[in-house]
Structure 1
Amino acid sequence: MSTRSARYPSWIRWVTLAMLAHAFLTVVRADEHTRRPGPADLVPLSCNEIQRLFITLVVRPVHDASHRLGWSDWRRRHQARSRTSHYRRQATSQT
């Protein structure tokens, strides 16, 4: 058996796991967006934000959940302010 054929099953398992993880994040994000749109001053949850929350809340909880959720709200509010400021600056430079 060659080295290449020995690595193929592990590659398939890794790709399958990565695809399942991405599908999970996508489904959670879609469900979150349809169930409740959220406050106007927050950026909607993205797949990356859901991944960060999952890792910090479930996989490696260092702080308590309320600390992490508060941090996520702050980060999304900051992103919303940045996006608004960016669009405003773009609009003024185009006129």
Structure 2
Amino acid sequence: RRSKRALTDAIDRALIDLLAIYRDVLMVQVGGDGELINTDLSDLVHQIAHDSTPHQTLARVDHIETARKRLVANGNPLLVLEDMAISLRPQA
């Protein structure tokens, strides 16, 4: 039970980090004047911002939040992450 909880907590922390990246992406896309949270990933943030729209970014944030909720609801971590990863891939 503890090991499953530790795994779920570690995945949740990673998803929160991912949400922070997409927060930066959205800020760049809408021309916000705040500082980036992930200054070390500035190139990646700008690349994602350039290659997508704010609507796509918000949809990705929603998918990440859904993954977090599914993990809390005792979803299978592998399936939850796989579904989320598919939703985050670049769209044409």
Which has the greater radius of gyration? Answer: 1
Give the structure, 1 or 2, with the largest relative contact order (CA under 8 Å, sep 6 or more). Answer: 2
Q: TM-score range by the shorter chain?
A: 0.3 to 0.5
Q: TM-score, normalization: structure 2?
A: 0.39
